[in-house]
Structure 1
Amino acid sequence: MRAAAVGAALLTVGLSGCFTERQNEGAKLYANHCASCHGDQGQGLERLIPGVAAADYVALHRAELPCLVRKGMKGPLVVNGIEYNQVMPGHEDLTDSQITNLLNFVQTTWGNHNQPYTIRETSELLGRCNGSDGQ
């Protein structure tokens, strides 16, 4: 009986280590891959680079966002009524699950109150641009 309790405690500690390792991953990914352009608080850069904070684009283009992160984009887009036309580099180095965590951070931070993505949804959406890595 005592061995079972010790085993359960070790399993709990082991599992919590797995999950805490990825805790705040979306915020860390945003800081490493996005903040230099979109701002550390998602504010963007004047009329040059769009913000992601309280951005209508984030809610209105949900199905496009995973491919936008993976492949980047060029050409005009409108965010909160302001037109932008800069090149955004893609992030081919991120896994599907990292893109999911990154987008979920943006979807639920800085005034964005959008439904989080599942990894399955992100992978399916990435399939539309041949961008899914299945991870």
Structure 2
Amino acid sequence: MRLGGRTAGLCYALAAGTIGVLSLSGCFTERQNEGAQLYTTHCASCHGDQGQGLERLIPPVAGTDYVARHRAELPCLIRKGLKGPLVVNGVEYNQVMPGHEDLTDSQITNLLNFLQTNWGNQNQPYTIREASELLGRCNGSDGQ
């Protein structure tokens, strides 16, 4: 069946639009899961695959008061690490946490948003602007 010029053009435009939307949805899906992937790569070996921590050695990140109460410090904690004691859910921990200088501001934002909204944590997600501004306080923002 032969299509007229106008109809054929419309069909090509719709097909191109559909392909474009499918391509974009793949990008968003990948970025949407980035926080979980980053957690698995950079955090799970210490904090556990479900954020449960390790006894009284390494604090949990699942269902913790610390994630909610220390929102402003969390971006720098991920970028620069932590030395010294902290209290999570009433338990004191005092281990060294390495920093992750290799992560971009965007990756830190996605990682934090994964923590903020999973495993019983029901906190407000970060915007990239907020995370970058907070990282600026510890000279940790890379502007990306």
TM-score, normalised to structure 1, is 0.95
Aligned residue in 2 for 1:90: 99
TM-score, normalised to structure 2, is 0.90
What stretches of structure 2 of length at least 5 have no aligned partner?
1-9
Aligned residue in 2 for 1:54: 63
CA drift at 1:19: 1.3
Encode CA deviations 1:51-110: one digit per residue, 9 max, x unaligned: 111110000000000000000010111111111111100000111111111111111111
SS in 1 for 2:18: helix
CA drift at 1:2: 1.8
- Structure 1 residue aligned with 2:121, among 98, 103, 112? 112
- Structure 2 residue aligned with 1:22, among 17, 31, 34? 31
Match for 1:67: what amino acid?
A: C
Identify the range of structure 1 (106-115 vs 12-21) with the bigger mean alpha-carbon deviation. Answer: 12-21
Q: Calculate the aligned-residue CA RMSD, in Å.
A: 1.0
Identify the range of structure 1 (6-15 vs 122-131) with the bigger mean alpha-carbon deviation. Answer: 6-15
Match for 2:96: what amino acid?
A: V
Structure ID, larger Rg: 2
Number of matched residues? 135
